[in-house]
Amino acid sequence: MPYIGQLPGLWWDESSGKYFPLSKKPSKPSITPVPSTAPSTSSYKPPQRRNPQRYTDAIGLYDEQLSKRLRSARNIRRYTQFYPIRAAAYLDSSRAVIATSQINSQLQLLDLCSDDRRFILESSPGSVESVIKIGSDEEVGIVKVAFNQTNLYRTNFEAQSLVHVQSIPNSNYFDCAWDGQRFVAAIDKTLNAISSGRKWVRYKSDVVSVASASQNETLCGLRNGQLHIHDWRLGNKPQSPIQTFGKTVNRIARVRESSVYVISTMDSQLQLFDVRMNKCMSSLRGNVNNTSLKQPFTLVANDSHLCVVGEDAFLRTWSLRSSQLTNTVPSEYTNYVDSDGDSILYYQKPGTSGLRKRVKVFEQEHYTENFVWATLQAQPEIKGSTLVLGGDGRYYGVECAQKVLKLSAAAGVKKIIVGQNAILSTPAASNLIRKHKAYGGILMTASHNPGGPDNDFGIKYNIANGGPAPESVTNEIFNITKTIQSYSIAQLPDLDLSKIGSYKHGELEVEVVDSVADYVDLLKSIFDFDLIKKFLSENPSFKFLFDGLSGVTGSYGQAIFLGELGLSKDSVQNAVPLPDFGGLHPDPNLTYAHDLVERVEKDDITFGAASDGDGDRNMIIGKGVFVTPSDSVAIIADWAHVIPYFKGGLKGLARSMPTSGAIDRVAQAKGVAGYEVPTGWKFFGNLMDAGKLSICGEESFGTGSDHIREKDGLWAIVAWLNIIAAANQEHKGWNIKDILQAHYSKYGRNFFSRYDYEEVESEGAQKMIEHLQKTFESLNGTQLKATTTDTTFTVKETGNFAYTDPIDGSVSKNQGLYVVFSDGSRIVVRLSGTGSAGATIRLYVEKYSTEASEYGQDAQVGLKPLIEVALQLSKLQQFTGRDKPTVIT
């Protein structure tokens, strides 16, 4: 019998040329050690990779010295430049060919000693599934799958190209090997010999794994557990199996050039099997220290050791001499990657308030991880930092929170403060960031967009001031997603976020906090809760109703309106946060909050209010009255003196560009600065941080102040209650309508309306914008006439709004097209950045009036001529095919 290397329980006697049991081994062995041709291991450590079929590959296991390196967790190198490594093969003792691919593929020639590398072929179509050494030390075979074809190639290193050998119509590739003169491939139920005269053998079960036994024989493992040796000299008829295992034979690794193979099966068994003796020599026992093997996907063997990586991402080494597991090395951080092809698919550009896409997009492999990792890497001091984490409770939030924790641990974050059950309203998160002086926060929300498995999810990053990341940060995040090569994720179990307390999660500290308490305390420090409670108790006819729209603010509303203000249970509806918002669209406007609108009219509700999915928007209505967001922020600013937080006066007031100019008149009357900024709350942040802004708002139902750096729906609602309670001290019985009319009498009325056209074709929306820009060139001074009346408007000014930040000098261009008329009326058109699909066109119209007879007029009636001019000028129906808006506010 020839020498085939060290075998378990046996020793080789050189003089007799035979193996004997170890019990008969003399004290001075006569065996002559086989010289090792292994490369120097001074700088070599094995790479790892992950993919859906094979998980992680480790290259090489030459000798005892290298085996010791493999057993040291701290010395394992992960070739992050190459991820995902789909396949690898040795050329000789010091060189290997590495293939990386998912959609496109790259081949690299790697020097294992110096770690030098060069590209052989870059970005060729198809996914490399296998690399196999063939012929000389200068050639390997490549198996690629592309366009429903399994393709076989030879490399041409000098030409840096692949030479095509053959294509097989098939997209379900399993395994391939080289038997010394041809490829042998396992494809579906056939074992294929790929040469000039192609042969194939068809089995009754899928052929899953193959290995060379000799130049004429191929060892193959089947899905049904059978192990066959096929001799190609005997034709294409399957021979009887030499062994049958209990589960699929998923990998076969040859021990050098011997007849001994390591067989792995899908029931997590590893066996040393001698195909010539048709005998299982021993099983590799893996249950040491409760570290049982789970479905081995990778086998690399030498004379003395076996390296295995299983489904659980643990690296294990076995001694083939003792058949014992010698060490288990957990992958503390596993590096995954998107190839160039995936990066193209995953270009992730945050919009006005983060990244918002369909849930199914976020559920794609690597998609969420890519964006979170890019977000973390865009922060220069992320290591050792504290972050806040929470979301609005929508579908996929729990899974996302666990990923954020593991990615943050791998990124070196020291501590994360997370809301109980991963729930935090956006205002509450902003408050926690500021209160705990955190470095930033990750918010899992798509705000007012619908939720559920077929709807939207979102992730946004807030900076240390508690506000949304500025464009400089979001642009950096976007740039990283375009070039990302790898991300690291800690191998940690999911953490129970339902229990308040402090936990150690690997090296990461996690503090689970009450989602509501700190925020309620904040509002109590701002408003006169005693005055509000007294007013409500003394005026039982004042009927209040808050609608949480099954979003995050339900719990906060119950704590404030029931717990602090003592209102009855039926004063709050839809108060339980639901993953799909109960099928509702959690956007507080007259269209989507129709249940609230109907009940206000039906039940004679004096004061009705709603907030959106993540709690940063609000709507105020009453019996027969609706307060536009533009009027709401102006009235809060005008009555700020009755709110304790503003007793020291106002620093400044601001609005977004599309918002009506009502607040400008308040700023002028109070002698404070008024600012006009682009849409997006982040533009208010610099002004607040510089001490120049107290109250601000957007026409999109966002209102807030410098108490945090986000708009705040419940803040606005309680502010109105504070104002009404204070107003009733002088004007008994005043309600919403009375306060509105008093404001119009003092400042005049800005009639305002917004038309939303949601999820229109992006191409049509862009063409409409281009049409308007071209029309603007010759529009000044012209008269535009309404379609149903003789009302005309003379164009005074047109443009595309640009903003220069007065604090840091940054410039934001192309923020919305506008037309201003000679009477002060105006039209604004912009594309929204908060949708997840298609484009949303927002059309704004505004008219100012000081005619008292018009103050009680319905806005749609007062604005009808201007709306007709806007639709005619924009040709919106022509470009989008829409004859009416999705939402009117």
CA separation (Å) from 313 to 49, 52, 493?
10, 13, 13
How many whole angstroms separate alpha carbon 431 and alpha carbon 425?
10
Give phi and psi for 872, each to the nearest 5.
-70, -45
Name the strand (E) or helix (H) holding 526: helix 517-526
DSSP state at residue 493: P
Catalytic residue at 447? Answer: yes
Contact between 710 and 691 under an 8 Å Cβ cutoff? The reply is no
The CA distance from 566 to 533, in Å, is: 7
Separation of alpha carbons 108 and 126, rounded Å: 16
Collapsing DSSP to helix, strand or coil, 216 comes out as coil
Beta bridge partners of 503: 510
Other CB atoms within 10 A of residue 252 CB: 24
On the CB side of 59, CA atoms within 13 Å amount to 33
C-alpha radius of gyration, the chain, whole number: 35
Tokens encoding 238: 């399957």
At 217, list the tokens.
């024989």
- Residue 467: C-alpha distances to residues 10, 24, 652 (Å): 70, 77, 18
Q: Which of 209, 447, 632, 656 is catalytic?
A: 447
Edge-to-edge strand list for the sheet holding 226-231: 207-212, 217-222, 226-231, 243-244
Nearest Cα neighbor of 612 from 683, 556, 682 is 556
β-bridge partners, 507: none
Reading across the β-sheet that carries 508-513, which strands appear in turn?
A: 355-358, 456-462, 440-444, 386-391, 415-423, 508-513, 501-505
Which amino acid appears at position 621 of this protein?
A: I
DSSP state at residue 561:
I
Which pairs count as long-range contacts for 807-815, CB under 8 Å and 24+ apart, including other chains? 807/686, 807/687, 807/689, 807/690, 807/692, 808/686, 810/470, 810/471, 810/472, 812/471, 812/678, 812/683, 815/657, 815/678, 815/679
> Which residues does 292 contact at the CB level (< 8 Å), separation at least 6?
268, 286
For residue 43, what is the enclosing H or E element? none
| CA contacts within 13 A on the Cβ side of 376 | 31
Dist CA 640 CA 652 (whole Å): 12
Q: Which residue reads 């990778």 in tokens?
A: 298
Cβ atoms within 10 Å of 417's Cβ, excluding its own: 23
What stretch of H or E contains 511?
strand 508-513
How many CA atoms does the CB half-sphere of 819 hold within 13 Å? 28
> Residue 496 burial (CB < 10 Å; 0-12/13-18/19+)?
exposed
Separation between Cα atoms, residue 9 and residue 19, nearest integer Å: 10
Instruction: Give CA–CA dist 768/192, Å, rounded.
Output: 58
Q: Residue 201's CB: how many other CB atoms inside 10 A?
A: 22
> Are the beta carbons of 228 and 203 closer than 8 angstroms?
yes
DSSP tag of 94: S
Question: Which residues make Cβ contacts (< 8 Å) with residue 697, sequence separation at least 6?
Answer: 629, 630, 632, 633, 636, 655, 656, 659, 663, 703, 704, 711
Report the alpha-carbon distance of residue 559 to residue 573 in Å, rounded.
13
Smallest Cα–Cα separation from 410: which of 499, 294, 489, 519? 489
DSSP bridge pairs for 705: 695
**How far apart, in whole angstroms, are the C-alpha atoms of residue 502 and residue 464?**
22
CA 117, CA 111: separation in Å to the nearest integer? 6
Residues tagged active-site:
447
